[in-house]
Structure 1
Amino acid sequence: MQTLETMRSLGLLTPEQYLEITAYVMVNSTPEQILAMPPHLWQAVMQADALLFPGGPAEPVH
């Protein structure tokens, strides 16, 4: 949830997107349910993620 708050505070998610996504995640908290998030919310999260982490996900440390 902290990442979503960061995305909202940086303007990467609108307040409406933030509220809708957090409401969804609070009710649907399993990984399977989160992956089944409505497409418009998933797209908003992915776009915000790409802007927040422009190089993609961090490489795992071995």
Structure 2
Amino acid sequence: MNTSAVTIAETSSNSILYADRDEDQIHIAEYIDILLDHKWRVAAVTIFALLIGIAYALLATPVY
């Protein structure tokens, strides 16, 4: 009988659902900002891993 109350409740719950969906989305710009903020750390870890790989490849006993 009071259909306007139901409509308001449905509308407010839908907007809450949409707000929750917004918070659950991945924002790629945030991840890019984080990577750019730590670019020297990322570069250092990458170079370190590369040097370890090269050292292993050159110093390991070949297995044929």
Specify which structure has the higher proportion of helix: 2
For CA contacts below 8 A with separation 6 or more, give which structure has more relative contact order. Answer: 1
Is this a same-fold pair by TM over 0.5?
Answer: no
Q: With the length of structure 2 as denominator, give the TM-score of the two structures.
A: 0.25
Q: With the length of structure 1 as denominator, give the TM-score of the two structures.
A: 0.26
